[in-house]
Amino acid sequence: MEEEVFVRAVRGTGVLSGQSVINTFLDLALFMFFARIVSRYEMGVYGAVLLVYMVLAILGSLGLSFAASHFLPHFYGKNEYRKVKSTVERILTITLVSAFIFCLVQIVFASFLSDLLFGTSVHAHLFWLTGLGTFAAILGTVSCGFVSGLQKFGSLALFRFLSQVVRVSITVWLLLLGFGVASIFLGWIVFFSALAGLALFLTIREVLGVRMEGDLNLNNGSLQFKVLLGFSLPMLVYQFVSFLSDSVDRFIVLGFLGTAPLGVYTVALTVTNSIIMIFGYPLLITLVPGMSEAEAKIGVESVSNSFRLVSRYVSLIFIPICFGIAVLSPLVVNVLAGLKYVEAAFPLSIVCFGLSIYGFSVGLISVLTALGKTLRVAVAVLLASSIGLSLSLLFVPVFGVLGAAISRAVMYISMFGLLFYLASRIIHPSFDKQAIWKSCVASVVMVFTVFYLAYLTGYVLTLLPLYLFVSLTVYGIMLMVLRFPTAQDARFLVKIIPQSEKLVDKIKKFIKSHV
User: In this predicted structure, what is the pLDDT of residue 298?
Assistant: 61
| 10-64 per-position pLDDT tens digit | 555 556 666 667 777 787 677 667 767 766 677 667 767 777 888 889 999 888 8
Return the higher-pLDDT residue of 311 and 466. 466
- 187, 167 in Cβ contact below 8 A? yes
Closest CA to 396 of 220, 265, 202: 265
Return the higher-pLDDT residue of 507 and 202. 202
| 252-277 per-position pLDDT tens digit | 887 788 767 777 787 788 778 777 77
User: In this predicted structure, what is the pLDDT of residue 52?
Assistant: 81
CA dist., res. 454 & res. 190, Å (int): 45
User: In this predicted structure, what is the pLDDT of residue 32?
Assistant: 67
User: In this predicted structure, what is the pLDDT of residue 192?
Assistant: 93
Closest CA to 454 of 338, 365, 325, 368: 325
- pLDDT class of 500 with cuts at 50, 70, 90: very low
In Å, what is the CA distance from 99 to each residue of 108, 114, 130, 236, 322? 14, 21, 12, 15, 38
CA dist., res. 396 & res. 405, Å (int): 9
Q: What percentage of the chain exceeds 70 in pLDDT?
A: 78
pLDDT at 320 over 50: yes
Residue 47, Cβ density class (10 Å: 0-12 exposed, 13-18 middle, ≥19 buried)? exposed
What average pLDDT does the chain have? 79
pLDDT at 3 over 60: no
Return the higher-pLDDT residue of 499 and 314. 314
Residue 14 CB partners (closer than 8 Å, separation 6+): 496
Residue 326, Cβ density class (10 Å: 0-12 exposed, 13-18 middle, ≥19 buried)? buried
| 326-337 per-position pLDDT tens digit | 888 888 887 766
